[in-house]
Amino acid sequence: MVVYIDDIIIYSETWEEHLQYIDRVLSKCKPINLKISLNSCNFGQQELLELGHKVSGLSLAIDKKKVAAVLLQPVSKNIKEMQSFLGLDSYYRNHIRKFAHITSSLYRLCSKDVVFEITEERRDAY
């Protein structure tokens, strides 16, 4: 089971095990008067989208819509925009091989003593 803020994801090997886990979760919610909306519940899914990731029993992948949002970002014009872009990108760093190496020139742009200039190397990193 995974709990993140107000989301509970219950996963299991078998349907019987899944039902047992659901029962355990619901039995813990009742004594503390935690309400769960059935309209926001999904049961027995093989895969789901959660926090920008497509999750299944076999894999964890980035949601294609989120990838498109990153790819469509215009090139940053100042430090604040670059910090925002790098924050967005960093969320997916585990899915990008050599992320730190690729983005190092972009991170250097966010330093106080560096002139903000988008060079060809930085554009390629972008």
pLDDT tens-digit series, residues 60-92: 777 788 888 888 889 999 999 999 999 988 888
Q: Are residues 119 and 74 in the same domain?
A: yes
* Number of independent structural domains in the chain: 2
In a domain, 31, yes or no: yes
CA distance 104 to 110: 10
In a domain, 78, yes or no: yes
Q: Are residues 76 and 118 in the same domain?
A: yes
In a domain, 103, yes or no: yes
Q: Are residues 37 and 71 in the same domain?
A: no
CA distance 43 to 45: 6
In a domain, 88, yes or no: yes
The Cα-based distances of 26 to 17, 60, 70, 103 in angstroms read 14, 26, 38, 44
pLDDT at 92: 82
Residue with tokens 């190496």, as numbered in its chain:
101
Q: Are residues 80 and 29 in the same domain?
A: no
Q: Are residues 72 and 121 in the same domain?
A: yes
Q: Are residues 118 and 84 in the same domain?
A: yes
Domain that holds residue 81: 66-125
Pairing of β 47-50 and β 7-9: unpaired
Give the total residue count for the chain.
126
What is the average per-residue pLDDT within 17-30? 92
In a domain, 54, yes or no: no
CB atoms closer than 10 angstroms to residue 96: 13
In a domain, 52, yes or no: no
What is the average per-residue pLDDT within 81-108? 90
* Higher pLDDT, residue 94 or 28: 28
Q: Are residues 36 and 73 in the same domain?
A: no
Q: Are residues 72 and 116 in the same domain?
A: yes
CA distance 19 to 113: 58
- The pTM for the full model equals 0.57
CA distance 59 to 39: 26
For the chain, what percentages of helix, strand and coil (3-state, to nearest 5) are there?
A: 45, 15, 40
Strand partners, 7: 4
pLDDT at 81: 94
